[in-house]
Structure 1
Amino acid sequence: MKPVVVYTDPFWALADGAVNPALATIENEVFGDKVELRFGVVQDGAYVKGGPRFIDNLKGASALAIYRAQMTEEVFATIRGEVKVIGRQGVGYDNIGLPFLKPNGIFGFNVPDYCVDEVSTHTLSLVLALERQICLQNNHLKSGHWDIYDGGYPRRLQGLTAGIIGLGRIGKATAQKLRCFYGQVIGYDPYVHGDHMIGYGVQKRHTLPDLLHQADVVILHCLLDEDTRNLVGESFLREMKSDAFLINPARGGLVDPQAVHAALSEGRIGGYASDVFTPEDPNDHEWNRRLLPFENVVVTSHRAFLSAESELSQRRRVAEEILHVLETGRPPRWGSLTD
C-alpha cells in the first residue's frame, strides 16, 4: 500500500476556487508512483485549516506538507503513530507545532533559504515606497492630482540609519542591499555576534532601545515565537524616532496593530509598511483594517517570498525531503527542526 502524502493548503493547487490535482506537476515528478497524493478540504474557494473536516482529512497519512495550516495538539493526537514527517512549505515554523514533533516521533523541517533574494528585495521595495512616497503619488496622480510636492519632501537616505531586528539569512541579505541607500546600517539580534554582523556591513546594537533610538527605518526580520509575539507594542513604538518608518516583511504576530494605529494617529512614527498580518487578510481584522486608510501605510498580500523560481524550488525541495524520510526513515537533510 502506498504511503499517503497530504498537502493541507497549497495555494498553487487551487484553480477557480477548487483543487486541481493536475497542477501538482513538480510533486508528481518527484514522487512518481511511490506515494498517493491527497489535498486539503476546500470550502467557499478557500482551504479549511482547522476543525473536524481538516483533521479527518489527515487520517491515514504518512506525511504532511503544510503551508498556513496550524499543527495543534489536537492535530498531533490524530496523526500520532502514522505521520512520519511534516514539511513546512516556507521559511517560518511557528505553525508546525514544534513542541509536539519529537514527543510524537515525527520529523519536521522547513525551507529556510529558498526566497532570501525575493524577501530582501521586497523589503527594500516597501522601504523605498515609503521613503519616496511612491504609493501616495501613484494614487493621487491617477486620480487627477499632479503635484511634485504631494507627500512632502523625501529624505536624503545617505544621511540616515537603517535598523534591522533579526540578522538571519534574510536580515543579512537585506543589510547588504540597504547599504546601497543608507549611510549606516545597524542591527539587533542577541544570537548573532557583532563580529559576524561586521562582515555584512552592520554595526551591532546590544539592546533594542539602542537600535530604536538611532534608526530612521526599523525593519523586522525576526522569527515569531513566544519571546517576539507582539514585540511591536506601545513601549516599542514610543522608543522609535517620531519620523521613523516601521517595516514588517516577517510575521503579522510580531506587531500589535492597535498600538501601531495609535502611533500613526498621534504622529509618533513616520509610516508603516507590512507584507504580513494576522489573520492573513488585514480586512478581516478590525485594527489591521483601520490601518489601511493612512496615506503613510503601504501593504502587500504576504507575497514577499514570491517568484516563479522560488515557488518551484520550494515545492521541489519539500517533496524531495518528504520522499527521503519515507524511503530511508532518516531525518530530513535540509531545514530539519528536530535535530
Structure 2
Amino acid sequence: KQNFLEYEEANILFEQELKKISNKNRLLDNLISEGIFNKNINYLSTGKYVEVIFLAYQRFEDHLTASYLLEKYLDKTNPQKSFSLGHPLFEYVKDESECNKNKGLVESFSIQIPELTNFEFYELVPSCKEFYSVTESFLESLIWRKADSIKSSSKTYLNEFILPYQNTLKRFFDILFFFLLIPEHPYNANSIHNYLMNYSLADRDSWWIPYIHDNFLYKESINRLVEWARSSDDTIFICEESRLLLGKILSWLLSSSNRYLRDNSSKAIISLFSNKIDLVIKLLKDFESVNDPYIIERLYGISYGCVLRSTNHSNLLELSKYVFDTIFNKDKIYPNILLRDYARGIIEYTSYLGIKIDFDIT
C-alpha cells in the first residue's frame, strides 16, 4: 500500500528497461529533474533512512493505482463480491479510517467504477456510503464522469446523505456550475430549478440567499457566469436549450439581497432572450408557480425589456396572450402594481406594433 519506491530499487528497474532503448542516459534522474517524480528521504520502520521516489502528480497516481487494482481484482460480473470481506479491494475501504487514508483511491473508484460496471461505488460498499470521504468523493466524481454514467438513482443518495448537510449541500451546488448548461446532463440547471421550487420561501431564503451572496463575493463563479451571459459575442453560438437553462439559473439569482447582482442578472437575461420571445414564454411558464414575489416581478420586467429590445416580433402575440391570461384574465388579479404595469406594457407594445390582438385590452 506504499506509494513510493526506494530510489536504488527504482533505479535498477528503470535501467533494466532503459537498456532496451539506450544505455547512455539515466532515465529515472531525467524524470526527476523534469518533475515527473519527486525524490525524498523517508524513515522506514526498519529504523533507517532511505532515498525514495514517488509520482509528483497525486491525482494521476491515484487513477493509475485504481485502474490497476480494478483491472486485477474487480469481477465485472459480480462487482459487489470484489469489495466483500476476504477480497483484496476490501482492505482499502474496510472502515472509515481506511476510506479517509485512501481518499484519493476512493475518489478514483467513484469515477471509474460507474463507467466499468454501471454501479456507483457506494452501492458496492454500502457500509461506507455515509462516510464523509465517500460522499465527498461522489460529489467530486460528478465533475469528471461521463454524463451517461450518472444514474437517476443517485438522486436518492443525494437526498439522503448530501443535501441535508450544509457543507456537502454547498459543495454540490458549487459543482453544479460545471454542467449547468449541458442539456442532457442529469444535474444541469433544471435540477437546481426543481430543487429550489420545492422549498417554501422562508426555508429557501435561509440558505440560498447566503449561498449566492458568499459565492458572488468570494468564489466569483456566479459573477463570471453573469458577466459571460451579458456578452452577446460569447453567447451567440449556444443552443436554445442551453440558453434557456442559463436563463433559469440567472432567474434564481433575482432573489439575492445584493442589488448589483440582481440588476446584472436582469441585464444578462435580457441580453440572452432579446429576439428569443419563445424562450421568454418558456421561462415565464417555468416560474409561473414560484413563491417568491421578487423573482416573478423581476421576470415580468425582464420580459418587457426583451420585448422592447427585440426586432424579431414573432411570438409576441403568443406572449401577450399568455401574459393576459396569467395576470389579468382571472377572478383575482395579481396584486403587485409594478408587475401589472410590466405586463400591461408587453400587451400594449404588441398592439402598438400593429399586431392584431384577439382579446379585449381596454
Looking at secondary structure, tell me which structure has more helix per residue: 2
Looking at secondary structure, tell me which structure has more strand per residue: 1
TM-score (norm 1): 0.24
- Which one has the largest radius of gyration? 2
